[in-house]
A and B are shown apart, each in its own frame.
Chain A
Amino acid sequence: MPRSLYFFSIGLVFTVSLAACRPTHSDQPSGYLVAAIESYPLQLDPRYATDANGVRIGNLIYNSLLRADSQSRLRPELAESLRLLDDRTYAVDLRQDVKFQNGQVLTAADVKFTYESILDPNNRSPKRGNLKPLRAIDQTGPYQLRFHLSAPHSPFIEQLTLGIVPANSRSNLAVPTQAPPGSGPFMLEAADPGEQITLRRNPHYWEQQPPLAGVIFRIIPDALVRVLEFKKGNIDLMQNDIEPDMVPWLEKNTGADVGAYPGTTFQYIGINLTHPILKNVQVRRALAYAIDRESLVTHLLKGIGTVAGGVLSPLNWAYEENVEHWPYDPERAKQLLDEAGFPDPDGDGPLPRFRLSFKTTNIDLRRRVAEAIKEQLQKVGIELDVRSYEWAAFYSDIKKGSFHLYSLAWVGILDPDILFQIFHSSSFPPAGDNRGHYSNPELDRLLEQGRATNNQQERKQIYARAQKLLARDLPYVPLWWWKNVIVKKPIVQNFTPYPDGEMISLKQTRWAANGQ
């Protein structure tokens, strides 16, 4: 016994001393704002970042030619001017007062490099597909360049929101490096994998200096734990991914400043139009009538959403309000189903008209919504088989078109050309994301016209017609637009919520005068 006890105590001493050597969290530099996020960003380099946190933090480190403002309008950032020379050539003049965080001046060569680096297949950038319309970039002066497209393609302008890195930055996937320096308001100070990302104010920043000394993004995967950490006072700011019922609790128990602001994230039910029942438009309209979105938003979302009438959000410049709406009307739904040839075999009895499967991700709230929708559809005689999957398995099924109904969201949509990728008949998988195989020659024509037109007013009219068509045909049943929930300590001031969940306004966020 003594010998084994001896080993055991060595192990114990070893463990405890191991823990004691580590620094504690309390030595956080003051003046740094602590924000909680759900997962560690996979990439900060704007040429590679596709995960939400990687993109959002990256946007604090890097500048782009254009940037969406808090009203989702594209505004010049690095670009001083942007002109269309002909229907397929953009001329850009850059600001001349911008420096990277390493002191180097940002010139047209850096912009050209960034775009070409993405286009180089060897660099394996996930954003290469977005730049397909781009034929060439010419540098016409130290601060001037031109983008040549192979055909008129108005949505290309959205690609000018790409973060710019210094020329000759190494490509991340080929040779892993730290994220290259940017020219944004903050710079990377430290990255502790799985733990936190620390940004520091960029002393060379060309706009007004950010009032905050820096921002610490703490990784806290569990939503409840984020709330507890906030209650404990360790978090200054958090955004979204919160259980709706926790919002009133936070207001009451922590003195937090809580607000819900209109957002662009669009939640919908996707429909497989190759399914013999679902290809009938009457059935899809019945589905839309049978779902009580108002009740779902009130009770399950606690108002953190706005019932959606169409696919594009009201914050989008191309939003068309005047489309057909499908208010909750179970009687009308039953009638449509009867007319479509799917009578209820036993009236209000247990036998359904037909059965469908409904796939969703396994996030608690999503699953709860699916359960409530199942109950609502049951009332009109449609039996739903709710199946919840872990994300990767769900996504792969959806991509393959293996579903009847599923629910998912569009995040960060700026240009209405998204409709091309989702509803054009040339976008059937694997070419695009028309997973339900919706096909309508009239819509195809509109969407082709929309992307080839450069005049925004004309485009608005084209997309208005497209939205009307979609609202009638219902290849998607719109559910709601999510609101962005901001929870912050009252001493955090000047944080402006962005509809797409961007946190770029951290650059003007400051502590209240009597605060830290």
Chain B
Amino acid sequence: MATRLWLYAGAALLLLLTSAALFAPLVSPYNPLQQNLEQDLITHSAQHLLGTDKLGRDMLSRIIFGARISLLVGASTVALSLLIGVGVGSLSGYVGGIADLLFMRLIDILMAFPGILLAIAFSAVLGPGLDHVILALALIGWTGYARLVRGEILSLRERDFISAARALGCRPQRIIVLHLLPNLLPPLLIQATFGLAAAIVAEGSLSFLGLGVSPPTPSWGSMLNEGRQFLLVAPHLTTYPGIALMLTVFALNLVGDALQDRLGNRSR
């Protein structure tokens, strides 16, 4: 019962964040890019509930629009990582042999290489831009999913129902799509919720290295980075985007945990 309550709370929070992101132009009080250099670093006022940043832009509007960017980065990164990860993982797990050996080495290599450096390299090669940030994050993020899928498939393929399907002459693609993937869904879903949170935070780290989304586009990560130097004089520049980020991670994890409690153990 309690579990369900937490799930609902998390889901409601996520819904709220997503709708804020979707309807950002309707709900945000100002244009998030509108500057006013004379009205900088206001803590809060009747006009600006959460104050303004160094360029006099409304913080509330930037956080609402930032939800858009951050959730987009998170979701796209996870989707792309899943695509690559599930592809490689199921190929590796189902086909086995040389393909498996090669893919697993590739993953070993990528995991040994500091992810942030790969992201630096990708961003430098591709140039700045939102889509490039997503691509860079996905290219370092897929290995976890691939390992997960491979492991699950290895344990599933020995099960009776798969052997039966194989004995009946089902084609491998069919077996993967019809029999294996549905069983893979719960663990993947759980991992994806955590991955989404991680990707949003990782975009922040890229911002710190100067490789995040291009200015003046607001993302929570870039806002945290822009506000960092003002921690002593205007802490609200980092506190609010920080809270937004924490709430999102919190909501995602509530949902992830609840899913895990409900689905995670059942699938075994």
Chain A interface (Cβ < 8 Å from any Cβ of B)? 223-224, 227, 243, 245-246, 249, 295-296, 298-300, 361-364, 367-368, 370-372, 374-375, 385-390, 393
- A367 contacts which chain B residues (CB < 8 A)? 210, 215
| B210–A245 CB distance below 8 A | no
| A370–B229 CB distance below 8 A | no
- A393 contacts which chain B residues (CB < 8 A)? 124
B34 to A, closest residue via Cβ: A375
Chain B interface (Cβ < 8 Å from any Cβ of A)? 33, 35, 37-38, 40-41, 54-55, 120, 124, 127-128, 209-211, 214-216, 225-226, 228-234
| B231–A245 CB distance below 8 A | no
A359 to B, closest residue via Cβ: B128
| A372–B41 CB distance below 8 A | no
Q: Give Cα A224 to B208, complex, Å.
A: 13
Q: A300-B54, A371-B35, A393-B124 are in contact. Are A386 and B214 (CB under 8 A)?
A: yes
Q: A245-B230, A249-B233, A299-B38 are in contact. Are A390 and B215 (CB under 8 A)?
A: no
| A249–B232 CB distance below 8 A | yes
Shortest Cβ distance from residue B123 to the other chain A in the assembled complex, whole angstroms: 8
| B35–A372 CB distance below 8 A | yes
Q: Give Cα A363 to B226, complex, Å.
A: 10
| B54–A390 CB distance below 8 A | no
Shortest Cβ distance from residue A363 to the other chain B in the assembled complex, whole angstroms: 8
Q: B37, B127, B229 — which one has the most chain A CB atoms within 10 A of its CB?
A: B229
Shortest Cβ distance from residue B65 to the other chain A in the assembled complex, whole angstroms: 15
B35 to A, closest residue via Cβ: A375
| A223–B229 CB distance below 8 A | yes
B54 to A, closest residue via Cβ: A368
| A364–B216 CB distance below 8 A | no
- B209 contacts which chain A residues (CB < 8 A)? 362, 390
A-B CB proximity, top 9 nearest:
A362-B210, A299-B37, A243-B229, A371-B216, A375-B35, A371-B215, A387-B128, A393-B124, A249-B233
Q: A223-B229, A224-B231 are in contact. Are A374 and B216 (CB under 8 A)?
A: yes
Q: Give Cα A32 to B90, complex, Å.
A: 64
Shortest Cβ distance from residue B242 to the other chain A in the assembled complex, whole angstroms: 16
| A224–B228 CB distance below 8 A | yes
Partner of B215 from A224, A249, A300, A386 at Cβ < 8 Å: A386
B53 to A, closest residue via Cβ: A368
| A295–B216 CB distance below 8 A | no
| B229–A364 CB distance below 8 A | yes
- A361 contacts which chain B residues (CB < 8 A)? 210
Shortest Cβ distance from residue A201 to the other chain B in the assembled complex, whole angstroms: 35
Shortest Cβ distance from residue B239 to the other chain A in the assembled complex, whole angstroms: 15
- A295 contacts which chain B residues (CB < 8 A)? 37
- A370 contacts which chain B residues (CB < 8 A)? 215
| B229–A390 CB distance below 8 A | no
Shortest Cβ distance from residue A330 to the other chain B in the assembled complex, whole angstroms: 15
| B229–A246 CB distance below 8 A | yes
A295 to B, closest residue via Cβ: B37
| B128–A389 CB distance below 8 A | yes
Q: Give Cα A372 to B216, complex, Å.
A: 9
Query: Other than the known A364-B226, A370-B215, A388-B210, what 12 A-B pairs have Cβ atoms closer than 8 Å?
Result: A224-B231, A243-B230, A245-B54, A246-B229, A246-B232, A299-B40, A300-B54, A362-B210, A368-B55, A375-B35, A387-B127, A389-B127
- A389 contacts which chain B residues (CB < 8 A)? 127-128, 210
21 residue pairs from A and B, CB less than 8 Å apart: A224-B232, A227-B232, A245-B41, A245-B230, A246-B233, A299-B38, A299-B40, A362-B210, A367-B210, A368-B54, A371-B35, A372-B37, A375-B35, A385-B214, A386-B214, A387-B214, A388-B128, A389-B127, A389-B128, A389-B210, A390-B211
Q: Give Cα A214 to B166, complex, Å.
A: 80
- B233 contacts which chain A residues (CB < 8 A)? 245-246, 249
- A371 contacts which chain B residues (CB < 8 A)? 35, 55, 215-216
- B35 contacts which chain A residues (CB < 8 A)? 371-372, 375
Q: Give Cα A243 to B225, complex, Å.
A: 13
Shortest Cβ distance from residue B88 to the other chain A in the assembled complex, whole angstroms: 30
- A224 contacts which chain B residues (CB < 8 A)? 228-229, 231-232
- A385 contacts which chain B residues (CB < 8 A)? 214
Q: Give Cα A246 to B54, complex, Å.
A: 12
- B128 contacts which chain A residues (CB < 8 A)? 387-389
Q: Give Cα A300 to B230, complex, Å.
A: 13
- A296 contacts which chain B residues (CB < 8 A)? 37
Q: Give Cα A371 to B223, complex, Å.
A: 14
Q: Give Cα A436 to B35, complex, Å.
A: 30
Q: Give Cα A117 to B172, complex, Å.
A: 71
Shortest Cβ distance from residue A428 to the other chain B in the assembled complex, whole angstroms: 25
Shortest Cβ distance from residue B111 to the other chain A in the assembled complex, whole angstroms: 21
Shortest Cβ distance from residue B24 to the other chain A in the assembled complex, whole angstroms: 17
- B41 contacts which chain A residues (CB < 8 A)? 245
| A300–B37 CB distance below 8 A | yes
- A227 contacts which chain B residues (CB < 8 A)? 232
- A243 contacts which chain B residues (CB < 8 A)? 229-230
B234 to A, closest residue via Cβ: A245
